[in-house]
């Protein structure tokens, strides 16, 4: 069964450093997403991406965040200057085009900012 | 008011019990509704979509009441493997219909 993959599974970084989280969505999917989950809290939407551009972003997704699809398979989330409060689990998801289509989540990257 | 509110839990039930989870959502324009399951430190996984007419998948039954903006999930004959956090999820009609809005989740612990 096709699945979304994410690398790395864990990332530890120093405050102020840049991190890039990588995702390989399911191959025939056209919508890509990033969500985050701070420990003990709910899953929160960050950004959706379609047709090589951001289709929607949340208030959390400020100027320090960016997304890119650098080639035909990878989808990345970059955090330019990490803060302590960026520590969370980051989930990538993908879906087919269309209303109410199931979003399939990757296993997540656990980011710890020290 | 939170966009999606769920029973706080945790629910501790014996194997074989029937358990019901409730959820309310604030945006009346919400378009799609789901229950996801999340195991500890794992990704959310779709359990089932929720349709206006109600739907059933084996031991799981989901109901939607659009007038009351209320969603429910019933689990019959609970198994140990049902232990997880159950997430109520909606998508808004406007502002990006594919954005998932998650509730905080209700934790279920099924014991022998």
At B97 the pLDDT is: 58
- Describe the strand order of the beta sheet including A65-68 as a list of residue ranges: A5-7, A19-24, A75-79, A65-68
Q: How many angstroms away from the CA of B21 is the closest CA of chain A?
A: 17
| Contacts B98 to A, Cβ<8 Å | 31, 33, 48, 55, 95, 99, 101, 103
pLDDT value of residue A101 = 82
Contact assessment for residue A35 and residue A57, using Cβ atoms and an 8 Å cutoff: no
The whole-number average pLDDT for the span A68-93 is 94
Q: Is A3 helix (H, G, I), strand (E, B) or coil?
A: coil
Q: What is the band of A73 on the pLDDT scale with cuts at 50, 70, 90?
A: confident
Contact, A54 vs A111, CB < 8 A? no
- B-contacting residues in A 32-91 (Cβ below 8 Å): 33, 35, 41-45, 48, 55-56, 89, 91
The percentage of chain B sitting over the pLDDT mark of 70, rounded to a whole number, equals 96
> Are A99 and B103 within 8 A, CB to CB?
no
Question: Given this model, what pLDDT does residue B51 score?
Answer: 87
- pLDDT recorded at residue B92: 80
Label residue B12 by pLDDT band (50, 70, 90).
very high
| Of residues B82, B79, B83, B84, the one with CA closest to residue B15 | B79
Distance CA B41, CA B81 (A): 16
Instruction: Retrieve residue A45's tokens.
Output: 């939407």
Task: Please count the helices (runs of H) and the strands (runs of E) in chain A.
Answer: 0, 11
- What one-character DSSP code corresponds to residue B93? S
Chain B hits for A44, Cβ within 8 Å: 102
Convert B26-79 into a string of H (helix), E (strand) and C (coil): CCCCCCEEEEEEECCCCCEEEEEEECCCCEEECCEEEEEECCCCEEEEEECCCC
For the segment B33-70, what is each residue's pLDDT rounded down to a tens digit?
999 999 998 999 999 999 888 899 999 999 999 999 99
Query: A19-24 and A5-7: which strand pairing?
Result: antiparallel
Backbone angles phi, psi at B82, to 5 degrees: -80, -10
- pLDDT band for B27, please (50, 70, 90 cuts): confident
Chains A, B: CB contacts under 8 A, how many? Answer: 58
Tell me the nearest-neighbour CA distance from A43 into chain B, angstroms.
6
Residues 6 or more apart whose CB falls under 8 angstroms from that of B28 comprise B66, B69
Pick A79 or A102 by higher pLDDT. Answer: A79
pLDDT one-digit tens code per residue, B77-89: 999 999 999 999 9
Residue B4 to residue B69: CA distance in whole angstroms: 10
For chain B, the residues whose C-beta falls within 8 A of a C-beta of chain A are: 31-32, 38, 41-46, 49, 87, 91, 95-105
The nearest alpha carbon in chain B to A33 belongs to B99
Q: What is the DSSP letter of A106?
A: P
């Amino acid at each position: 069964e096709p699945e979304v993959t994410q690398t790395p599974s864990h990332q530890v970084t120093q405050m102020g450093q840049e991190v890039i989280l990588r995702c390989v969505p399911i191959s025939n999917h056209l919508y890509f997403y990033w969500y985050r989950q701070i420990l003990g809290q709910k899953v929160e939407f960050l950004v959706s991406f379609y047709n090589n551009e951001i289709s929607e972003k949340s208030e959390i997704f400020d100027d320090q965040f960016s997304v890119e699809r650098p080639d035909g398979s990878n989808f990345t989330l970059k955090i330019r200057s990490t803060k302590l409060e960026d520590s969370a689990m980051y989930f990538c998801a993908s879906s087919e085009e269309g209303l109410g289509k199931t979003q399939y989540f990757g296993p997540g990257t656990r980011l710890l900012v020290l | 008011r939170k966009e999606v509110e769920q029973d706080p839990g945790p629910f501790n039930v014996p194997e074989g019990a029937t358990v019901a989870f409730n959820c309310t959502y604030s945006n009346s324009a919400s378009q799609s509704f789901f229950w996801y399951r999340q195991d500890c430190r794992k990704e959310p996984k779709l359990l089932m979509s929720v349709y206006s007419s109600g739907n059933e998948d084996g031991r799981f039954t989901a109901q939607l009441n659009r007038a009351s903006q209320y969603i429910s999930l019933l689990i019959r004959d609970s198994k140990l493997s049902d232990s997880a956090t159950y997430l109520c999820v909606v998508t808004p009609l406007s502002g990006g219909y594919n954005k998932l809005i998650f509730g905080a989740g209700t934790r279920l612990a099924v014991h022998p």
